[in-house]
Homo-oligomer: A and B are copies of this chain.
């Protein structure tokens, strides 16, 4: 261990990753091994191996994705928008350093370019080398790795992308600005006239204010706006939300879905926009 990290603790010979949720809830994962750790200019990047979740990507002490359930999030943030847009050619992924979202997008033959703009090159390096269950052997020539600020990148383009996927981390640290209104304005401008976007919009149980704010911005900018949910076991509250903004297309072509996936199915595509009563009420 090169650093003394407060979220790695050793008790009775066992190492534990202690994830601190707002001082009132701590999730302790027993760790077999710290596989990789390095401090980037943006954050502390770590890959650990655990008995329950397998390999886990941990940024500044917060679990981002795991071998056990990383596919759920990555399949949901990609296959839903790509089952709505009938002919996506240029796709932009902002964030998504674990490479899992880009990997899912490569399953669409009609997609010609995938720009993946991740601010932290070290995250991509760590996941490509040490978290292959999530990142896959991602070497598709259509993927352009761009190590830059997503905010800056999106400002450069007008009427360019068919689909924009905002795969950010929590709205603290480097991702804070990805939850601001001006960012969605720029995404709207970067999309073609029939383009659509999706972003992760946090937990409806624990971060309802973020979800409501994000949905509000997107609803104001796009003629079509919708929230869908999925179960992500390693995120607090289990239920996770995604918000979609679309300029033209609305229908999910679930019957045509034929990709090789572990979570997303035709049924899941049909039902993911069905919201619990409390969430329907909150978004009214």
The 0/1 profile, CB within 8 Å of B marked 1, for residues 222-266 of chain A is 000000010111011111000000000000000000000111110
Please, which residue of chain B has its CB at the minimum distance from the CB of A203? B233
A231 vs B278: C-alpha distance when bound (angstroms):
13
For A261, the chain B residues whose CB sits under 8 A away are 277
Stretch from A22-30, A89-97, A102-110, A186-194 that touches the partner = A22-30
A23 vs B236: C-alpha distance when bound (angstroms):
20
The 0/1 profile, CB within 8 Å of B marked 1, for residues 36-79 of chain A is 00000000000000111000000000000000110010000000
Please, which residue of chain B has its CB at the minimum distance from the CB of A76? B276
A35 within 8 Å of B (CB atoms): no
Stretch from A80-88, A118-126, A168-176, A267-275 that touches the partner = A267-275
CB distance from A65 to the nearest CB of B (A): 15
Would you mind naming 27 contact pairs between A and B with Cβ atoms under 8 Å apart?
A23-B30, A24-B29, A24-B30, A24-B51, A25-B28, A25-B29, A25-B30, A26-B27, A26-B28, A28-B28, A52-B206, A68-B205, A231-B231, A231-B239, A233-B238, A237-B238, A238-B238, A238-B239, A262-B276, A262-B278, A263-B277, A265-B274, A267-B280, A268-B274, A268-B275, A271-B271, A271-B274
Instruction: Sort A-B residue pairs by CB-CB distance and give the 8 closest, nearest first.
Output: A238-B238, A271-B271, A267-B274, A271-B274, A26-B28, A231-B239, A265-B277, A233-B237
